[in-house]
Amino acid sequence: MDAGYYISGAGHLGLIGWLLFGGVFRPDPPPFETQEVSIISGAEFDAILAAQRAPDQATDVAQPTAPEITPDAPEVAAAPDEMIEQPQPVQTETPPPDPAPEEVQETPPAEAEVTDAAPITPEPPSDVAVLAPEVAPTPVPREAPRVAPEPVAQPDPEATPDPVEQEAVTPDAEGETSTQEPQEATAPEEATTEIVTEATEAPRAAPNQSPRPPSRRPEAPAPQVAETPSENANDTDAAAIAAAVAAAQSSAPDAPSAPSGPPLSAGEKESLRVAVSSCWNVGSLSSDALQTTVIVTVSMNQDGTPIVGTIQLASSSGGSDAAARQAFEAARRAIIRCGAKGYQLPADKFGQWQNIEMTFNPERMRVK
Amino acid sequence: MSIRLLIMGLALACVAIMGGPNAAQAQQGPLRIEITEGVIEPLPFAVPSFQPESGAAGQMAVDLARVVSEDLTGTGLFREIPASAFISTVSDFNAPIQYADWKAINAQALVTGAVNVSGNSLNVKFRLYDVFSGAELGSGLQFSGTVDGWRRMAHKVADAVYSRITGEGGYFDSRVVYVSETGPKDNRSKRLAIMDYDGANVQYLTDSSSIVLAPRFSPTGDRVLYTSYESGFPRIYVLDIGSVSRRVLESAEGTMSFAPRFSPSGETVVYSLAQGGNTDIYTMDIGSGQSVRLTNTPSIETAPSFSPDGSRIVFESDRSGTQQLYIMPVTGGEATRISFGSGRYGTPVWSPRGDLVAFTKQNAGRFHIGVMRLDGSEERLLTASFLDEGPTWAPNGRVIMFARETQGAGGSSSLFSVDISGRNLKKVPTPEGGSDPSWSPLQK
């Protein structure tokens, strides 16, 4: 029974509370327009009305041009009156120009609209650049550089050689090729040129892959640094610190006998890559060999030529041993051929490229 | 203790920071580069005239070198350097090679040979050199035969050179059987002919008294299956090439049998048989004549071809409403459709390598010879013309020969070959028109 009272009481309290404070929780009222209203007195209202009637009175006030009544000095005033009358007919009575616009409307449809556009463009050069770019910025720059420079430069030197080239073409088109039209159906010939073209492209600025991080040699002697901890020989912890420092230092500066130098830049490595690529001919490889990736190592002379006897197959993947052998031979031919006159490598970094490991991956050259 | 460990850690950190740049600059191990783009172009080679080691071998030495050179050049993978560009000559088969002279003319491969003729006996030997490596590629080889077969000797030398450079088998010492055609389209006479792969040494196996179709070599190259209308109905015959004798494969009365092919074992024939307006695929044991029906559908199934291992058969069927390619087990049963492109597919032939199927495709009013994987993927159309049909594989699975017919009433049919990459499309010379080629295996 009590529970019923409690519930009823709570409900009523809630209802009363909502009525009293429900507005607090009410969401923001919908937007509505407001206008400010100001209270004015009757005198102010009359003043406003008077202000609205002011023009009538003003005109009336203007009438009392008393000076007209005072003809005391007519002669003096007469002169200025005449002066004033002269300018009035000049401008106000010129309305005759009104018929002029009517004539203008007739002429433009015939010629003015077409000619207006053209004459505007030649104006820019004569006037100032301020008007030209605003009127026609886009059409002018597109047409000018393509048309103007080429025909001016070419006609003189190439006018005579043209017929010579055409004569050379006609004899080629004789007989056999014209009769064997089916050769046009060979799609891959285009593929060949594409691949060659890609290979002969200028070296890209960015490398295809990030350089591999130099591997740290796990073990290296550290004779000199190991002596320093002897100063703190009594302290085993200090000795451990010194040993750790020595080990860390020993991994950084290795002292190879070959002249080292800064590592090859991405552009230098790319140059070498492109040079070898240009001689890597996979056209005569079997499909199995084209599935095989070979890693070839080679030692270089300081003049940039490869030492032929050091070219070795380090490893292969993706094909049989026979296929790997064919792929290796193609890679070896590429290294030797294009390196016959020496690769363009920085001499001061010889230590960096004295030994090279080349991975020949024919995945992109595969016939699919 | 903990303070000391902290000091130790700080010290290591300092060393790492100070030594870091040095470690980054130092070149550890060789310089590594990866090459993923090369060039595809014919490999330049030189074949000086072979050295005659007997008085009668002079012209033979020149001819052998010429055929070897033509074989290699004809693949499209090699480019011959003319003799006029040679700096040095090879005067002795065993003399050391002047590599610098051959490098100077960019000859990447050099083939030298010697010929000895004694009566009707011919002896040919050769060496192959990798010029830029300055070493011999493989060891020298020697072939013996008869003077009459001098072209085969040259083909064998070319096969060996091709194989050593490309890493795959050659196909020069092979033959092609085809239908030789003469006369206009509405009155064309046909007869079986056989020739070397390059069109030389043409011989005729039948006369032109009846229509012959679709000759197919046996796996050993000593027999030919073909279809003849000699009896008024198409029937399958087996022809022994050596003796030019033949026999018919019996079939029931009122039936038509055609499109035969040997199994890889050479003991079974798979063919199409039309009966009561329906065409299905059967196999027949050549020795016993027992036949087995492999398909049993109201649609047309024909042009069967065995896989190299003899376990499956690819064929064409219109069971889906249009002509498509299917693969089924050699015992028959459920077939899997492999062609799904637009147009109609027909005359499938399994590659000797087993990885591709060559086919004829008709689409948008043109015919194509194409290849696809066994699952129908990587479809590649190699040709396009008014009418291309009847592909056949070279023994090494790298080249396809087919027939091309020109348009118009005066049109004729000729044989063409193309690399499976689509390159090197060229006409195969025949004395008359040709169709339905079948490439033999390499001769022994």
Round the average pLDDT of chain B to a whole number and report it.
90
Pairing of strands B31-35, A355-360: parallel
Q: What is the CATH number of domain B175-439?
A: 2.120.10.30
- pLDDT band for B294, please (50, 70, 90 cuts): very high
Tell me the domain boundaries of chain B.
Answer: 43-166, 175-439
Interface of B with A in 293-322 (CB under 8 A): none
* Low-confidence winner among A174-183, B169-178, B276-285, B286-295 (lowest mean pLDDT): A174-183
- Higher pLDDT: B72 or A337? It is B72
- What is the average per-residue pLDDT within A235-247? 55
- Higher pLDDT: B265 or A197? It is B265
- What is the average per-residue pLDDT within B404-409? 90
Q: How many residues comprise chain A?
A: 368
Whether B32 and A285 lie within 8 Å, measured CB to CB = no
Using one digit for the tens of pLDDT, what is the confidence trace for A127-144?
333 333 333 344 444 444
- Identify the residue whose tokens are 């060891």: B139
Using one digit for the tens of pLDDT, what is the confidence trace for A249-275?
444 444 445 556 788 899 999 999 999
Q: Which residue of A has its CA nearest to B404?
A: A182
Residues of B in contact with A237 (CB under 8 A): 1, 4, 8
- Higher pLDDT: B146 or B9? It is B146
- pLDDT band for A212, please (50, 70, 90 cuts): low
Instruction: Among B30, B132, B383, select the one facing A355 at the smallest CB separation.
Output: B30
- Higher pLDDT: B412 or A43? It is B412
> Is residue B281's pLDDT more than 70?
yes
Using one digit for the tens of pLDDT, what is the confidence trace for B142-177?
999 999 999 999 999 999 999 999 988 999 999 999
Residues of B in contact with A182 (CB under 8 A): 383, 385, 404, 416, 425, 427
* Low-confidence winner among A3-12, A125-134, A213-222, A283-292 (lowest mean pLDDT): A125-134
> Is residue A100's pLDDT more than 60?
no
Q: Please tell me the predicted confidence (pLDDT) of residue B406.
A: 92
Instruction: Among B40, B418, B419, select the one facing A282 at the smallest CB separation.
Output: B40
- pLDDT band for B197, please (50, 70, 90 cuts): very high
Residues of A in contact with B25 (CB under 8 A): 262-263
> Is residue A171's pLDDT more than 80?
no
Tell me, yes or no, if B132 comes closer than 8 A to chain A by beta carbon: yes
CB burial of residue A203 (10 Å; 0-12, 13-18, 19+): middle
Q: Please tell me the predicted confidence (pLDDT) of residue A182.
A: 40
Whether A253 and B29 lie within 8 Å, measured CB to CB = no
Interface of B with A in 334-353 (CB under 8 A): none
Percent residues over pLDDT 70 in chain A:
36
- Winning range, highest mean pLDDT, from A285-289, B255-259, B369-373: B369-373
Q: CATH: 3.10.270.10, 3.40.50.970, 3.40.50.10070, 3.40.920.10. Which one for B43-166?
A: 3.40.50.10070
- What is the average per-residue pLDDT within B281-285? 95
- Higher pLDDT: A173 or A24? It is A24
ipTM (interface predicted TM): 0.76
Instruction: Output the six-digit token pair for B138.
Output: 């493989």
SS3 B317: strand
- Higher pLDDT: A64 or B318? It is B318
User: Which letter, b or e, does each residue of A214-228 get, where b requires 16 or more Cβ atoms within 10 Å of its Cβ?
Assistant: eeeeeeeebeebbee
Best to test chain B binding among A284, A287, A357 (most B CBs inside 10 Å): A284
* Low-confidence winner among A21-35, B105-119, B253-267 (lowest mean pLDDT): A21-35
- Mapping DSSP onto H, E and C, the string for chain A reads CHHHHHHHHHHHHHHHHHHHHHHHHCCCCCCCCCCCCCCCCHHHHHHHHHHHHHHHHHHHHHCCCHHHHCCCCHHHHHHHHHHHHCHHHHHCCCCCCCHHHHHHHHHHHHHHHHHHHHHHCCHHHHCCCCHHHHHCCCHHHHHHHHHCHHHHHCHHHHCCHHHHHHHHHHHHCCHHHHHCHHHHHCCHHHHHHHHHHHHCCCCCCCCCCCCCCCCCCCCCCCHHHHHHHHHHCCCHHHHHHHHHHHHHHHHCCCCCCCCCCCCCCHHHHHHHHHHHHCCCECCCCCCCHHHCEEEEEEEECCCCCECHHHCEEEEEECCCHHHHHHHHHHHHHHHHHHCCCCCCCCHHHHHHHCEEEEEECHHHHCCC
> Is residue B212's pLDDT more than 80?
yes
> Is residue A1's pLDDT more than 70?
no
- Higher pLDDT: A115 or B236? It is B236
- What is the average per-residue pLDDT within B308-312? 96
- Higher pLDDT: A177 or A322? It is A322
CB burial of residue B215 (10 Å; 0-12, 13-18, 19+): buried
Q: Please tell me the predicted confidence (pLDDT) of residue A25.
A: 60
Percent residues over pLDDT 90 in chain B:
76
> Is residue B435's pLDDT more than 70?
yes
Using one digit for the tens of pLDDT, what is the confidence trace for A324-357?
998 999 999 999 988 988 999 998 899 999 999 9
- Identify the residue whose tokens are 């009637």: A53
- What is the average per-residue pLDDT within B35-49? 93
Residues of A in contact with B108 (CB under 8 A): 333, 337
Q: Which residue of A has its CA nearest to B161?
A: A284
Q: Please tell me the predicted confidence (pLDDT) of residue B51.
A: 94
Q: How many CB pairs under 8 A join A and B?
A: 222
Q: Please tell me the predicted confidence (pLDDT) of residue B233.
A: 86
* Low-confidence winner among A13-27, A209-223, B3-17, B348-362 (lowest mean pLDDT): A209-223
> Is residue B386's pLDDT more than 90?
yes
Using one digit for the tens of pLDDT, what is the confidence trace for B118-142?
999 999 999 999 998 899 998 899 9
- pLDDT band for A36, please (50, 70, 90 cuts): low
Pairing of strands B109-118, B141-146: unpaired
> Is residue A290's pLDDT more than 80?
yes
> Is residue B19's pLDDT more than 50?
no
- What is the average per-residue pLDDT within B321-326? 95
Using one digit for the tens of pLDDT, what is the confidence trace for A106-122?
444 334 343 344 444 44
> What is d(CA A24, CA A21) in angstroms, rounded to the nearest whole number?
6
pTM for the whole structure: 0.66
Amino acid at B54: S
- Do B436 and B387 form a contact (C-beta atoms < 8 A)? no
> Is residue B23's pLDDT more than 80?
no
Interface of B with A in 143-172 (CB under 8 A): 165-168
- What is the average per-residue pLDDT within B276-286? 92
Whether A253 and B26 lie within 8 Å, measured CB to CB = yes
Tell me, yes or no, if B40 comes closer than 8 A to chain A by beta carbon: yes
